[in-house]
Amino acid sequence: MGNETSPDETTRPSATQWSERKSGRNELVACLIMIRGPHVGKRIVLNKDEMVIGRSKSADAQIDESSVSRKHAVIRKRGSEFIIEDQNSKNGTLVNMEKQMLCVLRDQDLITFGNTLFKFIANNSLELAYHEELHKLAMLDPVLQILNKKFFLDYLEQKCSYSQLFPTKFAIILFDIDHFKRINDTYGHQTGDLVLLHVANTVKTHLRNSDIFSRYGGEEFAIVLPDSDAEQAEFTAEKLRYAVETAAIVQDEEEIKVTISLGAASFGPAEAATCSSRNLIERADSALYQAKNAGRNRTVVFRGRG
């Protein structure tokens, strides 16, 4: 989620390379494309007979995430096939949401390591040449260049399903910009867009790589915090609130300060069987409503059950 450059950035072909590949002058190579995780859009080219996937710095493809084992899985090339084998990892290797110890990968398979999700693109897949750009358009907010509401909802639904199989803790935060209509009315919609971008960029710099940050509505945002309980969610929310409050935007030599109100909610392992994305959103939304009613520029954490 941060602004780091992907370690595998050089493996992303240029427009010229795509043209050459589509014309048959260069064979398309099988790869994994990260669609959720520290570097969304990252491409891991499967150009070795055996590639180790894991958290270790010595892994062929490193995933810097605590829920990924040091040596999580191995992908082996056997002729035209790619076979993935779990290496007795802590959280297992999921292929299309089913835990697998050993299986042959098929084009478009979804592979989960911890909280990180990849799509497998086979050799010479018709999707390979344009998948990255299409996926980027489908999951990113075009103005703020953060994840969109659809991605957030899909991810949260998957997270709840995953938690029923492997109970874990996680939390969400919903927040919006206080008195945003007043900003638009006072300074105009162009300034309003700058404020949205300013808030999004400020929040991004204070989140972990594993956190999921998305635009939920006009001036409303949503965050998923893997491996976090209510206390950790409150700490993160307060950190974000303070960061936004103290980072002013300057427009036409005028300093504009904004604040945000935040509502947080969490699920723990004990609630795994009843975990639902709808229920979690309702909890966070209720907390956000309380924060607004209490005067705004504050965090409220849902503490009840049900």
CA distance 130 to 144: 22
Contacts of 27 (CB under 8 A, 6+ apart): 21, 123, 124
CA distance 101 to 40: 25
Provide the annotated active-site residues.
219
Question: Could you tell me the end-to-end alpha-carbon distance of the chain, in angstroms, rounded to an integer?
Answer: 31
Contacts of 108 (CB under 8 A, 6+ apart): 119, 120, 121, 125, 127
Counting every residue written for the chain, the total comes to 306
Determine which helix (DSSP H) or strand (DSSP E) holds 286, and give its type and residue range: helix 277-293
Contact present, 267 and 156 (Cβ < 8 Å): no
CA distance 68 to 114: 5
Amino acid at position 99, single letter: K
Contact present, 178 and 297 (Cβ < 8 Å): yes
Which of 177, 256, 188, 277 has its CA nearest to residue 218? 177
CA distance 95 to 113: 9
Which of 269, 272, 263, 20 has its CA nearest to residue 160? 272
